[in-house]
Amino acid sequence: GNFTTNSTYHKNLDFVLSTLTTTNTGLGFFNYSAGQGRNRINSAALCRGDIEPRLCRSCLNDSVVRLREMCPYQKGAVGYYDECWLSYSNKTILGDTRGGLILYNSQNASDRDRFFGALRPLLNELQRDAAAGGSLRKFASGNTSGPDSITIYGLVQCTPDLSGSQCTDCLETEINNYLVSVVGSIGGRILQRACNFRFFNGSTLATQPPSPPPRISQEAPPVPSTTQEGKSSNKTRIIVVVIVTVSVIIIAASICIFLRLKKKTTTEEMTHSIDNETETMDIGTVESLQYNFSLVKTATNDFSDDNKLGEGGFGAVYKGKLGDEQEIAVKRLARYSGQGDEEFKNEAWKSWRNGTAT
């Protein structure tokens, strides 16, 4: 939902964002809440576990500015960057381990079996190391040798409010989701607030992880308790589908997401970053969920004409119903061109701005 200028929610948001970056636990985790009832705002931020405090502060300050520019009146928003993420919402943030956004490098490994035979043990080891972290930091990074004398680097992280088992479950779910959805890519990552991971050829790790503070037993700030404000007023979500080689789709709806990721080459559709050039991609999403394309086909009765609601920009719109009786509206972008990714983003934002992505 949206808020209005100079409303109580607006004033609370200004206060929360000005205060959040002062709540550092010492290792790049931030958590602050303010307000009551419908005007309560929860906020959280996490810096990558291997960067210096100076870079962490810079990333968070930039994120606040960018989110206010890109999502000026949304009650909830999340900004994902290479070195941090920052989020605010009138709903619970911490402990929410629902699905994330998949990013991947479009270049495939020359020997997929050997590449992923080396990658999976690395991710499993890093997952265990991160989950074993204390209440102030759950982060691990490392590397392993891959085929053709390459080095595979990996990084995993959970918000430190999660227990060890919650961190393990979150990472295991996201890693499995990625490996099922994307086959053969030499680099990829999951963007998710509770946990995230990335892997790539070539090190982008900025520094060694900072030393922990002397009093490592210090407890992290408690998870903010929020009250759900009644039942959802909308049961229909708009799903924008691009029919390309990857059957992964992103829901577009009521919370603003801002991704600022560096791009290595124009052929890398979604990738980790190591260069100076930056690219902005804006996608609206409810829960950053992803659905397998076959599930959407089933929900729409294989895009049956009986389920067709009409024609829109870049494709037809179909009604459907998921297995949990969730009603959905699916926009199918049936053609792909060199500008397909731009068309997808423009169409998603058009639906969002026009209020048709509900």
Q: H or E stretch including 124?
A: helix 112-131
- The two beta strands, 188-191 and 195-201, are antiparallel
> Between the CA of residue 227 and those of 35, 86, 90, 230, what are the distances in Å?
12, 21, 9, 9
Show the tokens assigned to 148: 């053709």
Task: Provide the annotated binding site.
Answer: 331
Q: What is the spatial distance between Cα 106 and Cα 149, in angstroms, rounded to a whole number?
A: 21
CA 312 to chain centre: 27
What are φ and ψ of residue 89, in 5° steps?
A: -165, 160
Looking only at the bridges linking them, the beta strands covering 327-333 and 29-34 are unpaired
3-state helix, strand, coil in the chain (%, to 5): 30, 30, 40
Look at the chain and count its residues.
Answer: 358
Which residues carry a binding-site annotation for ATP? 331
How many other β-carbons are positioned within 10 Å of the β-carbon of residue 203? 12
